[in-house]
Amino acid sequence: MQSLAKRPARCSGKACVGAANGRRVLVLRAQAASSPAVESISGVRPEVVEAIAKAQNNCLTATDLPLPNRRQGKVRDTYDLGDRVVIVTTDRQSAFDRLLASVPFKGQVLNQTAAWWFSATSHIVPSALLTLPDPNVAVMKKCRVFPVEFVCRGFMTGSTDTSLWTHYKAGARQYCGNSFPDGMRKNDRLVANVITPTTKAEDHDVPISPKEIVEQGLMTQEEWDTVSAAALRIFQFGQEEAARRGLLLVDTKYEFGKDADGTIRIIDEVHTPDSSRYWLADTYAARHAAGLEPENIDKEFLRLWFRQRCDPYKDAVLPEAPAELVCELSKRYVYLYERITGQPFQVPDLATPVNERIVANLRKAGLC
């Protein structure tokens, strides 16, 4: 990607920032042959960039809170309090059903971004969120979780085993109950948004059709109809909001559950940089016409980096993600948070280990 910068990039730690008359720029920092070149997105305040570099050794990779019934997922640790659950969003970076790295401030960004979207989409479907006692922690109303992930897509793209493009380029024209015409190219916009559901599993999600979901008893037909309609409405709303911010919301996933009163609620992150793919709208058409990948500000570049160097599904040991790449991903998480919410990212106290801060805040909230 060509740099638009008119003056040299300024580096702090292992991250670079460029500027060009106040415009958004992407800067390609030169690397040694043994290290990858990482496109660096500007627009993140210098003090945040510096904090990201300092926080590499203070990531939240695991929790051991004085709370009962701990369960560890790919990114989140959940503590079951009976009628409520305490969900801690860690800095673990997961893809290909593997742990790839720990990314500074990732958990805080995901937690606070999801809370913003929960509020913004409450007119479509209520969420299970009760309160946020800590930047990385959400207290949620306990729900019976539907064992299905609702993956909504607006474009023909992706690189994982469950992505639409992976199946389409292999010859599939029917996928998860949807039909697609011949002749589509990677990154084409779909005629209409679709849902490509998967089973919800700790190890590996499996694509499934709506008919199979009902036949296997994962959801009733009424539940599927209600939730799938809500998912598409939330996705369309998210695309509209993203467009107002110069972004394309490409695809995302949602999880839903039913509370003790029978109310269906959205229970997991909404339109976060982890659950969603975002492209920059102003360059999409020209780059796609030229056969180039869209400018993205999500974690796709990390997945592609691993894809180019190993088989992330089969190799027993994966290469270590370079520190500069991890810091760049952190910047993109922060950038998206600020661009979506319109709120400045608040850097936490770096002198206090994250786990200690969380315990202190939970005690203040009377949760432990």
Q: Give the CA angle between residues 340, 39, 51 to the nearest 5°.
A: 65
Q: Which amino acid is at 109?
A: V
Answer yes or no: pTM beyond 0.75.
yes
Q: What letter does residue 8 receive in the DSSP assignment?
A: P
Mean confidence (pLDDT) of the chain: 88
Owning domain of residue 173? 146-289
- Residue 190 placed within a domain: yes
- How many domains are contained in the chain? 1
With contact defined as beta carbons under 8 Å apart, do 30 and 47 qualify?
Answer: no
Residue bearing tokens 């916009």: 189
At residue 203, does pLDDT exceed 80?
A: no
Terminal-residue alpha carbon distance, the chain? 49
Residue 162 three-state SS: coil
pLDDT digits (tens, 9 = 90+) for 251-286: 999 999 999 999 999 999 999 988 999 999 999 999
d(CA 18, CA 41): 8
- Provide the pLDDT for residue 30: 31
pLDDT digits (tens, 9 = 90+) for 142-152: 999 999 999 99
pLDDT digits (tens, 9 = 90+) for 17-54: 333 333 333 333 333 334 456 668 889 999 999 999 99
- Residue 47 placed within a domain: no
Give the pair of three-digit tokens for residue 204: 């590996």
- Residue 184 placed within a domain: yes
| Cα distances (Å, whole numbers) of residue 218 to 115, 168, 198 | 27, 26, 11
- Residue 271 placed within a domain: yes
Least confident segment among 4-13, 57-66, 351-360: 4-13
pLDDT digits (tens, 9 = 90+) for 91-110: 999 888 888 899 999 999 99
- Residue 303 placed within a domain: no
Least confident segment among 7-11, 32-36, 241-245: 7-11
Write the CATH number for 181.
3.30.470.20
Q: If we measure between CA atoms, which residue out of 357, 329, 347, 334 comes closest to residue 55?
A: 347
- Residue 339 placed within a domain: no
d(CA 353, CA 362): 15
pLDDT digits (tens, 9 = 90+) for 131-144: 999 999 999 999 99
- Residue 328 placed within a domain: no
- Provide the pLDDT for residue 360: 97
Residue 340 three-state SS: helix
Give the pair of three-digit tokens for residue 153: 């897509």
With contact defined as beta carbons under 8 Å apart, do 333 and 339 qualify?
Answer: no
At residue 187, does pLDDT exceed 90?
A: yes
How do strand 144-145 and strand 137-141 relate by DSSP bridges?
Answer: unpaired
- Residue 105 placed within a domain: no
172 CB contacts (<8 Å, ≥6 apart)? none
Q: Give the CA angle between residues 250, 251, 254 to the nearest 5°.
A: 150
With contact defined as beta carbons under 8 Å apart, do 109 and 345 qualify?
Answer: yes
Residue 349 three-state SS: coil
Q: Give the CA angle between residues 187, 192, 198 to the nearest 5°.
A: 75
> How many beta carbons lie within 10 A of that of residue 44, not counting itself?
21
